Structure 1
Amino acid sequence: MMWRICYQYRQYLLALGLLAGILPVTQAADDPTETFLYEQVRLGNSKSNDVLVSQSLYRLSLIKPNDPSVLLMRIQFAVKQKETAKAQQLVEQLRMHGENTEQYQRAIKLLSLTHEDNRQILQKAYLYQTAGRYDEALQLYDDIYQGTPPDEGLALEYLNVLIAANHANKMARIKQIYHTYPNNQQIANIYQQYHLTPALSTPSATSAPNNTISIRALKQQLRQQPDNADIIGTLGVRYSRANQRALAIYYLSQALTLAPKHNDSDLWRTLLQSNQYWHLLAKADEALLNQEYSAAKRYFTQVRQLSPYKSEAYIGLGDIELAQHQLEQAERYYQQALQYQPNDAATLHSLTRLYRQQSHQKAAQFMANLTSQQYKNLAQDYGYIISGIQQDLAADDEQQQHYLSAIEKRKAIAKAYPDEVWNIYRLADDLLITQQPQLAEDYFNQLNQRRPNDPSRRYAYALYLNKTGRAQQALNTLKTIPLSQRSESMNALDSQLRFGQIMAHAQSLREHNQQQQAVEYLFTHIPPEQKIESYLLLAQWAEEDDQLNQALNYYHTVLNLAPNNETALLGATEISLAQHQIDQARYYLAQIEQLSPEKFNHYSLRRLANAEKTAGNIDKAKHYFIYLARQVDKEPDSADGLILRDIGRFYRDSQQVQSAHHYYQQAMLKEGITHTLPTNNIEYTTLMRNNPNDNWLSRSIRDDASTLYRQQEWRFTLEHDYWGSNGSEGYSKLRAHTTMLQLDHPIYHGRFFWRTDFVHLNSGTLGTAPYDAKFGSCYRTGCFPLKQKAFGVSPAIGWENEQWQWDLGTTPLGFNVTDWVGKIAYNDSFYHLGWSVDLHRRPVNSSLLAFAGQRDSWTNQVWGGVRKTGLRLSGSYDLGGKDGYWGEISFDRLTGKNVKNNSSVKAMGGYYYKLINENDRRISVGLNSMLWHYNKDLSGYTLGQGGYYSPQQYLSFSLPVNYRQRTENWSWEVSGSLSWSYSKTDDSRRYPLQNLVSSDKFNSDPIKEIFKHERNIIDKGDSGHGFGYTARALIEHRITPHWFIGAAIDIQQAKNYTPSHALMYLRYSFDGWNGDLDLPPNPLIPYADFK
């Protein structure tokens, strides 16, 4: 009966079949792009052609990026490609359409299959299926799917198991899956096999073929009737429906050739043109995706020839130009597409994307000029790009630190797109920067209420909580995100927060002086994924505790785990350099060279450049510093004050002074020392003043800039110095006036000086009892009351830097005895001990005789002019804390004209303690001692004596007190000491050089007789002890940044020695100096007093 009904109504059934075959193509004609791409996705899935699926999904995402069906297909493909993070992001985008939608539920189910537990269940079900245990396999599938499988591939696999299994409600299940995936041909065939009665009639040779007949059956009929246009045309339609474009084109073309006026010829022509169009478009897309630009351009050009008024070809041609960075040509193609389809969302999106790539402002201007319909279409399908451009503009403001403007933009975005999680996050960040924490909290609270279960929202909120110092709350928020929905970034934040808690506890132990407990705690709680970070922290702690070998061991542990870890390599290099293991440091530097250091971050590159410099690889250090400077100039915001300071140091050492000052000023700006760059020297040097609120880096920047500026400063100083001591009129008494002119200026890496001293010495006039004066040959012979004075000019030059010092000059020209004098010295440090050594030749200037030399009245001989030549070694130890030590030892040989040679050894040392140690105020007390030994006592003034203090034993102890302070324009020092001393001199000849008082030197016989006795006289030695004191005051005032004035006075009182001293000076700075005044003030020292 059924057979007869089917046969009777076969024509109606045939028409219905043809309509079913034609229907998708008809729909494609209504919306051809989308339908074609949907078909391409299904075809790619059925053929396992991932390239075709990827291309089609890409084009679909451009046309309808927020369409739930498109999003679901993209999620399915991402899961297939094991791109879980991308799938999670797309699921969050799909959630915006509602959590109860079919697409969202299927996406969640599909994503759940990526969990390890579910993957194991699926594997087990597959094994059951392979073993023929279909009922058990079906049970596992039902347990995991909880209904319909989430995609077509899984549904087909499920149907195969369902058909083979014993299931009471098999037909209902098949029907349910068919209605879920009605467009899948394989699923439809299974459904038809089990639900529909297949047609039993066989068409006659001349009748149109039944559309329900399979393609295989149609091909069999075609072999019997090769010229039957109906069969060929039906094959073309069927292949078109199956998205097999090439075969469809072949058969439709053949059908039209055989029967150009067939009843279905119009249909065949329409289908042929449509298949040719989409076939070429698919090939063009595939070529573009494979970066075969010439082929893609050829195909798109053919597509344009087929349909010159559609946008797809022009968009494709524009995409080719865009991929090759031909932006102007790409824009022309996009504009052509817009001309033919002005409201097409895909075209508008292409242009917006292009302008966004060129300039955020240009993209915004383009959107502002769109018509209302264009904007509506773009917003409907590509709302994300509108929001993105608005966020770009806000980000531009943030980069320029225009936070208030950025806040207004982000508020507008939040109003239009209230669920845009990352806009809210950045808005909250801007509000925190502008001190509006409550408003930031309000925005996040509103977002939390609207999207309580959104993993992206939870993640952003956790970041916000962590940024606001609520790490535990951030961790608790992350815990609410199911493991199945976590991205790699979420897991990384979770790990970071947990590790942060471990670190905080360990750091707390260190702060409570429980260093060992901190190390042990960290060792027992090191997470496996944080081993490297933990050992790097342990290395840092060891370095802070000065345990360099232990730190090096930790770095080696890191290098065993990660041989190319740049932090460990740099740390090991720096420790090796600190331990003076230069070869070992160069080994590590060679390892670093293999890591392409130019890719390091700025901080690591700075460390590398400094290490190369310390290791003596100056050229490499120069290369890295220049590269770093260029990167910083390109991206000024990428560098911090430390990097800028070190670049400044590099240019300082390279004698590029202006560049050095430029980077020091930039460092000052970055560190908040100033908010604007200085415009002149006065403003700049004002910034160099110390600030008690500075951190170590700000102090370092100011000190570096100040030291360089002072080293480069030109100064001229005029000073007058007075020195006097009591004694016997005419020889041991002395009044000295020295007027000094000195010009200081930079040269090479140091400072050079030119100076002239005008020296006036006056010992008075020999007394009225000349027979008592032990001077020259006057004792018992008498001398004329001559005035004893001298005048001379002492020129000198000198140079110094951080390590070397030298000077060369003469004792005053015009004195009775004139000599070359000078010094060369070298300074360095060993660990924390500073030391220096020098070779010197200096005048002894304690008397007119010792300094200038004098002439004897009776013999007319000049004697005196004593010079000391020797070696001095000094050292000091001061870590900048409360106290310090100093010491010095010198060995000298003392010679003079007609003066007995002598030698001396002097040792001095002391300790000081800083009661107050502030930047601008210091008070210290201490204990000093001196131990001297001279081989001979030549302190007399007779012929052959030297006129200088030269005990054979001298010991003194003193208790110094020192107070220094400075204000903006004043600097002063007040100091004093109490001392006790002991001295002893041996017996000595009154005339140590006998030839000076031989008989032939005198013209008078009586005097000759006297000296026959006098020449052998021995003066008795002496010893004694006593107390003394010193008091000194020194002050300087800045009149203007160019002019400075100062004065000083000091008084000493000791046994048989009461000198006094005063000075005044005027100094001019050519460049100007408005920084800190010297503390204490630093007047000139007479050249004769140089050490």
Structure 2
Amino acid sequence: MSIERFVINKRIHILPIAVVGVFFSSSIMAATPKSELQMMNPIVFQSDVSNVDSTKQLVEQLRYAQLLHRPDITETTLKRLFAVDPNNAEGLSFQAQHLAKSGQVDQAMGILKKLEAAQPNSVTTKQLRDALSIYGDNKATYQKIILLSRSGRNKEALQALNALFPNGMPTPELQLTYLDIESGVKGHERKVLIGLKKLNAEYPGVPDFQLAYAEHISKGDPSNPIAMKLLQRLSLESSVSGSAASLWISRLNDSYITKEVVQQYAILSSYYPSNVTYRKALLDANKRFEKETELRKDPKYLAKLTGLKELESGHILNARQQLLAALEARPNDPEILGGLGMVYLRLGQQEVALSYFKKAKKYDKDLRNVDRWNGYINSSSYWAYLERGEKMMQRGNFDGANRKYHQAIKYEPDDPYAYNYLAELALAQKDEKQALDYYTTALSKNRLDETALRGWFNLQISFYGGEKALEKGRKLSSRQQRILAERFHEVEISLLMTELTVAINKGDIEHAKTILDKLVIDPPVSPWQRSEVADSLRLTGQTQRADKLMSAWSKNGTPEMSFAYALYLARYGQTVEAIAQLTAVAESDRSEAMNSNLNRLEQNQMFSALFILAKNDPEAAKKEIRRLEIEYNSDPDAMLSLIDVQFQLGFTKQAIIKLQSIKPTDKWNMETQLRYGGLLYTFEENEKFKEWKNHLESNSEYTVISFEQKIRRDLLFAEYAFRSEEYADAKIYYSSASQLNTQYQYGALLGLLKTQQALGEDDDAQKLALYLYSEKQALSSRQSMELALILMAYGYQSEAITLVEMLKQKQDSDAIDYRDGMAVAMEGKEWSLATSMAHYALIEDAINPKNDATIAEFTDDDALDLELKPSEDPKEENLRELYNNADDNWLTRNVKSDLDSIQARDQGYVSFGIDYSARDGANKSVQVPIEAIIPMPEYDGHLQLRADIVHLNSGDIDYYDSSEIMNEQHTGSAFGIGWLADSWSADIGTTPLGFEQQNIVGGLNLSGDLGDVGWKATLSRRAETSSTLSYAGMTVPNGVKDDKGKDWGGVMKTGVNLGGSYDLGGSVGYWASAQFHTMTGTGVEDNTHLGLLGGTYWKIINEENRRLSLGLNLMYLNYDKNLSEYAYGNGGYYSPQQYFSVSIPVNYYERLNDGFSYLVSGSVSNSWTKEDRPYIDGSPNGSSSKGGGFGFSLEAAAEQRISKRWYLGAAVDIQRSDFYEPNHLLFYAKYTFTDRWQPVSMPVDPLTLYGDFD
């Protein structure tokens, strides 16, 4: 029998100890290397202690009485000790242990309580508490440790024993158990040997300890001469003679049979002359020797012996090789079968081990081994069922896994492992309540089971959050809390990290610094959380402190800490130092991610120089790229990275040419293929992409790829199909990529969602959108915003807004995400939230002005001026400062424009001016326009109030076909009221009251977008203001024969104007307009007006504060009648029957220092006209005529902000053509109700006369 079974199972039963003699009086001799325990004398006890008054002697006798299993001596000595010292702590401890061993656990616990009350912190009390725990709270845990040891899983058993007794073994007996288990751990042989020597030195003369020592030194060396001598002596010790003799004969049986071994059998037999077993063993030994001499000639037999020896030595793989070879010749040999069972048990292959143990039991004719095989079979069955269940769970067969786990429980009903597996199964099925029940059951089997405790605690976090879970966790027992101490710390750190993120996002720097101080004093264990702490320190202006901490943490850290430090250095532009950190990690310790990042950093170091060079000298950068193309010619991965860099640098044409020259080969691995395909997709090389895709799908070499690569490939194919509007194919690929729970799953599901939208599968799309919303915590910021836009489109506004609000808590949110969040919030009319998103967008843009991850990856902060300075921390800037200091890029322009719209909701003004215009010295007008814009944000618009004082002077005008001269002046006041909203406006008012002709005017304007085309529709009724006659009306002179004294004029235009524009922000834009109006007036013939206009323009300069454009405009006008004359029935307005012009306008406008804006424009044109003779008395008077010619116009305007709320402006323009030569001058002032953030308008937007609306 091995010491393993001896110690654990049957020590008390097979060690009947009889000790006689008198109490020892001399000191006990310690073992020395020389003595090797061989000369130890047996311990004797004083049976009569009635006269012994020394508590030290009595305690010493108690100690050895316990170790030698002498209850009689224990009870006698305890009686005397308590007579001398009733409250002796050591005596009480020995009494409690004695009671517990005899089954009187409750009485033992009572003594422990007594000691805890009297001496709660004494070593004796603590050791007794630990010793008794294996009879109480830790009973199941201790049994599990024994079970692990039996199954050969000694390392796990040892770890569990250390966890059970973190302060060391409380008794010598448990120390012996510990050493026995440790003896089964490979590499611990020397430690066990030292431990056994120490145990025998501290407690000399204890046969159990001597026997354990003999067994240990004879493992793997059954003929060890020192062990043989010890066993010979111990076989004569009545206390352990039977065990020693059994071990002796066991070792002899395990020994290579020689004449000397036969002689050892003879000595053993002589010690027990009446023992038939030993006599028979001697006879068998002689026969074995004879047989062995013959067997040694068989190599298969030698393989068996070698295999069993290798197994005993812990050389599992060598043992398997030898035993399998031996099994070929001896398929029914129980020793070989049992040895293979142990091999596979220790390899963790429970199913295979179980099969061998069953065969060993079947073919072993020695009935003494039945219990042994049954023990192994039960243990293997338990672990085999757990293993089967685990495999089924991994395959998704949850019902099958559940059955296997419950079958395992039948073999070990008190072991918590199976219940932990059931809890894991419940979690896989997202049944957290059931999982909690299983973890609770596991804890009822073993209150200190770490897996169950961790699972229980993690579910408390899931149910109640971190803070509440910690409250519950701190109500556990002190031992349970010690087991969870590390997890408690992780949660505490996580709560602090979350609080830190919220504080930083809110801009509460002082609170963030307080939290950071706590995290520095008690830092996270995770290298990545430490890196987050350092990032936050930098963000709060503590750059030097962050650098010092990361440096200190890296020096005493793991390779993972060095990795985190390297990435930290790289993030802040210290690429050289980052590379040094990674290269300092031994190659054998570098993970695949480390090697990948090391290669990336080394390559990026080269590319970083390119970005800096391109910034200062683009031509030199191009030369360097050509040199690198030669260098990387044989490295497709590096070449593809270089092409990507070219694209990021803006050398798109060169990048495309180089990519087109690359021919993919079947030698490329899948990673290279995917990078190549990704660039083809980016550059929209559609034909090449299709060719590459078809080749990849048809090539068998690329069918066996990793799940991750397959998903990335399918996603790339899906995106291409979606962009190509091949939605059915896109749906297939997105569906395929979304099947597995990977980092790409939610991206694939979003793609599937957009595809369903495109296919009109709205019901399915809405269901999927709501599912993704339920998984919102797992979505990236970019994915959240994509989903938010879709939810808004389906009317789920509250869900979309929730996603926007969550952006602040997500670590990956960048300026683009906040910009998208702002758009969603504005669509939902959540103006405060939209403003908050604008704030964060401008903060993030201040950190990364390019908003380009690729450029940030390749370049350092010094090169791009990205590193935050303590005095320049954007978190500390208010929104207005961010608005004013923002960089000029597409994102900031977009954000600021929307901010302007939000601000404009609460902004209003009063504007007034004086306007002068004249034409050919006649038809002069002086007007005083007054406009008030009153914000009404609760109604999403502004109230518009207008009052224009108008004075007209016709000058001397000849009445048609007469010598009569007309000269009239009119003064009146026009009033109007209107409403201005985002996409519509309306007004109603009057022509100037006081004019001869007065009319109601008004209009309705609608605008919007149709795809990329902006449109506007206007339905209106306005006055024709081009002359005194058409606007105010006049009186027919008395000298005219017909119609004298009649008032006529006051022409009104009623109709529709449809306009469209196309401008995506590039260098070219287009516009068009179609107009149709009816013209009516008092005493004026009815007329119709048709206008078709259109043009294009090129933005030669297109900057935020400056623009120069050149255009080409076409205009066509048609009036039914020529009513341009000053005659009754005519309206005095230009009305050709055919008019066509081509003009080339040039416009330049600029804004200086946000407070001054001006524009200068001019145009040249040529026109072609056809006019009927004036329409007199119901018909044209004469034949038509043709005309036209060259024309030009000049215009200038300027506006200056002179204080927080006051603005002054002026505008002047002249026009010259064959029919129209007006001059115009305007001065105006504007008072705003608030201190506006936005700069003055560019181009200048002068005050418009009410009569010129539309």
TM-score by length of 2: 0.55
Could you list the per-position Cα deviations for residues 319-340 of structure 1 after superposition, in whole angstroms to 9, with x for gaps in the alignment? 99999777568657766x7xxx
- Say which SS state the counterpart of residue 1135 (structure 2) adopts: coil
- What does residue 763 of structure 1 align with? 954
Counterpart Cα distance in 2 of 1:972 and 1:457: 62
Correspondence for 2:735 among 553, 559, 564? 559
1:412 aligns with 2:552: yes
Q: CA deviation at 1:13?
A: 12
1:737 aligns with 2:927: yes
- Say which SS state the counterpart of residue 814 (structure 1) adopts: coil
Could you list the per-position Cα deviations for residues 188-218 of structure 1 after superposition, in whole angstroms to 9, with x for gaps in the alignment? xxxxxxxxxxxxxxxxxxxxxxxx9979999
Q: CA deviation at 1:1036?
A: 1.8
Change over 3 Å in CA distance of 1:592–1:62 after alignment to 2: farther
- What does residue 479 of structure 1 align with? none
1:821 aligns with 2:1007: no
1:899 aligns with 2:1097: no
1:1031 aligns with 2:1169: no
Correspondence for 2:761 among 560, 584, 590? 584
Report 1:613-692 matches (<5 A). 613-614=792-793, 617-618=794-795, 620=796, 622-633=797-808, 635=809, 637-672=811-846, 675-676=873-874, 682-683=880-881, 685-687=883-885, 691-692=887-888
- Equivalent position amino acid for 2:695 in 1: T
- What does residue 533 of structure 2 align with? 396
Is contact 2:1124-2:1135 (8 Å) kept?
Answer: yes
Correspondence for 1:706 among 900, 921, 926? 900
Change over 3 Å in CA distance of 1:870–1:567 after alignment to 2: same
Is contact 1:41-1:57 (8 Å) kept?
Answer: no
Is contact 1:502-1:522 (8 Å) kept?
Answer: no
- What does residue 787 of structure 2 align with? 608
Counterpart Cα distance in 2 of 1:1080 and 1:835: 21
Is contact 1:155-1:177 (8 Å) kept?
Answer: no
Correspondence for 1:851 among 1031, 1046, 1070? 1031
Counterpart Cα distance in 2 of 1:553 and 1:314: 49
1:883 aligns with 2:1068: yes
Change over 3 Å in CA distance of 1:321–1:735 after alignment to 2: closer
- What does residue 1057 of structure 1 align with? 1220
- What does residue 1158 of structure 2 align with? 972
Counterpart Cα distance in 1 of 2:636 and 2:308: 34
Could you list the per-position Cα deviations for residues 533-555 of structure 1 after superposition, in whole angstroms to 9, with x for gaps in the alignment? 22322443566xxx541366234
Q: CA deviation at 1:678?
A: 7.5
Higher relative contact order (CA 8 A, sep 6+): 1
Is contact 2:303-2:322 (8 Å) kept?
Answer: no
Counterpart Cα distance in 1 of 2:306 and 2:731: 51
- Say which SS state the counterpart of residue 824 (structure 1) adopts: strand
Is contact 1:907-1:930 (8 Å) kept?
Answer: yes
Q: CA deviation at 1:697?
A: 3.4
Is there any run of 5+ residues in structure 2 with no aligned partner, and where?
A: 1-13, 20-37, 44-65, 71-96, 102-126, 169-177, 188-296, 347-352, 354-365, 380-411, 424-436, 461-467, 498-521, 606-631, 639-667, 850-871, 1039-1043
- Equivalent position amino acid for 2:588 in 1: N
- Equivalent position amino acid for 1:975 in 2: S
Q: CA deviation at 1:977?
A: 1.4
Is contact 1:687-1:702 (8 Å) kept?
Answer: no
Counterpart Cα distance in 1 of 2:446 and 2:684: 74
Correspondence for 2:1232 among 1066, 1069, 1072? 1069
1:441 aligns with 2:579: yes
- Equivalent position amino acid for 1:502 in 2: Q
- Say which SS state the counterpart of residue 709 (structure 1) adopts: helix
- Equivalent position amino acid for 1:755 in 2: R
Correspondence for 1:789 among 939, 964, 969? 969
- Equivalent position amino acid for 2:1088 in 1: S
Counterpart Cα distance in 2 of 1:826 and 1:796: 19
- Equivalent position amino acid for 1:1032 in 2: E
Counterpart Cα distance in 1 of 2:799 and 2:1157: 42
- Say which SS state the counterpart of residue 453 (structure 1) adopts: helix
Q: CA deviation at 1:431?
A: 2.2
Is there any run of 5+ residues in structure 1 with no aligned partner, and where?
A: 1-9, 77-133, 188-211, 219-238, 244-279, 302-311, 338-345, 364-384, 477-496, 767-772, 994-1016
Change over 3 Å in CA distance of 1:328–1:972 after alignment to 2: closer
Counterpart Cα distance in 1 of 2:309 and 2:691: 50
Report 1:316-355 matches (<5 A). 327=470, 351=485, 354-355=488-489
- Say which SS state the counterpart of residue 1158 (structure 2) adopts: strand
Change over 3 Å in CA distance of 1:866–1:436 after alignment to 2: same
Counterpart Cα distance in 2 of 1:650 and 1:563: 29
- What does residue 1046 of structure 1 align with? 1209
- Equivalent position amino acid for 2:1004 in 1: I
- What does residue 931 of structure 1 align with? 1116
Is contact 1:395-1:406 (8 Å) kept?
Answer: no
Q: CA deviation at 1:1083?
A: 0.9
Change over 3 Å in CA distance of 1:538–1:803 after alignment to 2: farther
- What does residue 945 of structure 2 align with? 754
Q: CA deviation at 1:701?
A: 2.3
Counterpart Cα distance in 2 of 1:319 and 1:551: 44
Could you list the per-position Cα deviations for residues 566-591 of structure 1 after superposition, in whole angstroms to 9, with x for gaps in the alignment? 434533544665x6x6x334433334
Is contact 1:681-1:1073 (8 Å) kept?
Answer: no
Q: CA deviation at 1:141?
A: 9.6
Counterpart Cα distance in 2 of 1:799 and 1:918: 32
- Equivalent position amino acid for 1:683 in 2: E
Is contact 1:902-1:936 (8 Å) kept?
Answer: yes
Q: CA deviation at 1:883?
A: 2.3
- Equivalent position amino acid for 1:590 in 2: K
Counterpart Cα distance in 1 of 2:598 and 2:1238: 43
1:460 aligns with 2:594: yes
Change over 3 Å in CA distance of 1:629–1:1046 after alignment to 2: same
Report 1:910-989 matches (<5 A). 910-968=1095-1153, 969-988=1155-1174
- Say which SS state the counterpart of residue 588 (structure 2) adopts: coil
- What does residue 1017 of structure 2 align with? 837
- Equivalent position amino acid for 1:428 in 2: A
- Say which SS state the counterpart of residue 1054 (structure 2) adopts: strand
- Say which SS state the counterpart of residue 520 (structure 1) adopts: helix
- Equivalent position amino acid for 1:851 in 2: Y
- What does residue 517 of structure 1 align with? 688
- Say which SS state the counterpart of residue 1028 (structure 1) adopts: strand
Is contact 1:739-1:758 (8 Å) kept?
Answer: yes
- What does residue 962 of structure 2 align with? 779
Q: CA deviation at 1:864?
A: 0.6
Counterpart Cα distance in 2 of 1:660 and 1:163: 78
- Equivalent position amino acid for 2:933 in 1: L
- Equivalent position amino acid for 1:948 in 2: Y
Change over 3 Å in CA distance of 1:24–1:469 after alignment to 2: farther
Q: CA deviation at 1:145?
A: 11
Q: CA deviation at 1:422?
A: 0.8
Counterpart Cα distance in 2 of 1:977 and 1:69: 103
Change over 3 Å in CA distance of 1:716–1:12 after alignment to 2: closer
Change over 3 Å in CA distance of 1:983–1:398 after alignment to 2: closer
Tell me whether 638-647 or 407-416 shows the greater mean CA deviation: 407-416
- Equivalent position amino acid for 1:1050 in 2: D
Q: How many residues were matched structurally?
A: 817
Is contact 2:1111-2:1146 (8 Å) kept?
Answer: yes
Is contact 1:923-1:962 (8 Å) kept?
Answer: yes
Counterpart Cα distance in 1 of 2:908 and 2:300: 93
Q: CA RMSD in A?
A: 5.7
Is contact 1:875-1:888 (8 Å) kept?
Answer: yes
Q: CA deviation at 1:887?
A: 2.0
- Say which SS state the counterpart of residue 659 (structure 1) adopts: helix
- Say which SS state the counterpart of residue 966 (structure 1) adopts: strand
Could you list the per-position Cα deviations for residues 247-300 of structure 1 after superposition, in whole angstroms to 9, with x for gaps in the alignment? xxxxxxxxxxxxxxxxxxxxxxxxxxxxxxxxx998799999986788888888
